Amino acid sequence: YRDLCLAANGFAQVFPEHKYLIVECLRELGYIVGMTGDGVNDAPALKRADIGVAVAGATDAARAAADIILTEEGLGTIIHGIVISREIFSRISNFITYRIAATLQLLFFFFIAVLAFHPSDYEQPPDVEDWPDFFHLPVLMLMLITLLNDGTLITIAYDYAEASTLPNKWNLKALFLTSSVLGFVSCLSSLVLLFFLLDSWNESGLLQSLGMKGVQYGQIITAIYLKVSVSDFLTLFSARTGPRFFWTIPPAPMLLAGATLALTLSSILSILWPSGTLDGIEVEGLQTNMGLFVFVWLYALVFWVFQDVLKVLSYKWMFAINFNDINATGVVVMPESAKKLIKEYDAAMEGHK
């Protein structure tokens, strides 16, 4: 009966066991089945379906067997519930994408920075204490990054989300690939900036060629803190729009306010951070080098745009090669046997005309 259940447009004069059989056939074919009903004769099928919906005024038996009970007349409430559930799915997907991307950026940046960058090997300003043998940020700065990050992330629950036109289905490989692209760009841009800052006293280095002066080690620490913070928060705006560019879906006021507050606090801290040492690491605010502050912000914005473009291209590539069956996600595909039966029914109907 499986192909028959798929090929038929509807069934009439069915008994309770027939309704149960139809639901069971569709479930055995691997489909997620929803069933609505209001009477005792619908209870077996309501219980067997993946999602049983008892309409308003249903009998106690139907209510007991159903997963969802409607309190308003009509079936339009089901459509509204589907739209809301898909919006929630979109927010959850955005949250996971951003969380993976942010975690990859932080973990790989600090891991690579500690192992690959040795400040003592770079040219240093004269008459200062030698720079340390390896690079790392003070624990307090790491805590501030994660604290402001988590505070901003809470607001994603209030963000605007568009319901997909097709049923949603998790594609974890595609999600992880997208997150990896976002995290990779953020991590790479932070590592490149760290190299430029450590190389700032080299007369043939990039910063010197741009007319900027050499950067003290304490300000290098603060500038990297600013860059990682800004990239972390901007990545959220790329992660929340899926395969589209970040400007296609405007952020909700709550999300925009949370991100603006976090970026403002990070910027103020990087400027006004008092000179001194944290965990034995020299730290100095950027108030005496506002040119570097502006440079870090512009640098982060440029790579953010590049990050978003690369994300969109990654989605286009995945759709083009049907990565992990991404094109079939949420799409009902009939087996060839059912399609053949439909053609036979259509031919038979034409013959009776």
| CA dihedral sign of residues 267, 185, 113, 106 | positive
**Residue 31: predicted pLDDT:** 85
Residues of the chain with CATH 3.40.50.1000: 1-74+324-353
The helix/strand/coil state of 12 is: coil
Q: What is the pLDDT of residue 350?
A: 78
Options 3.40.640.10, 3.80.10.10, 3.40.50.1000, 3.40.50.1260; CATH of 1-74+324-353: 3.40.50.1000
Query: What is the reported pTM?
Result: 0.85
Instruction: Give ranges for CATH 1.20.1110.10 in the chain.
Output: 89-321
pLDDT of residue 347: 83
Q: What is the pLDDT of residues 186-206, one digit of tens each?
A: 999 999 999 999 999 988 888
User: Domain 89-321 is of which CATH architecture?
Assistant: Up-down Bundle (1.20)
Helix or strand (DSSP H, E) at 305: helix 290-321
**Residue 331 pLDDT grade (very low, low, confident, very high; cuts 50, 70, 90):** low
Q: How many helices (H) and strands (E) does the chain have?
A: 12, 5
- The single residue listed with the structure tokens 């094109």 is 327
What are 27-47's pLDDT values in tens digits?
988 888 999 999 999 999 999
pLDDT at 353 over 90: no
pLDDT tens digits, one per residue of 94-116: 999 999 999 999 999 999 999 99
Tens of pLDDT, residue by residue over 207-223, are 888 888 889 999 999 99
CA distance 185 to 87: 28
Amino acid 221: pLDDT: 95
DSSP secondary structure code for residue 41 in this structure: G
Q: Are 227 and 299 in contact (CB under 8 A)?
A: yes
pLDDT of residue 210: 82
Q: What are phi and psi of 246, to 5 degrees?
A: -65, -25
The per-residue pLDDT for 73 is: 86
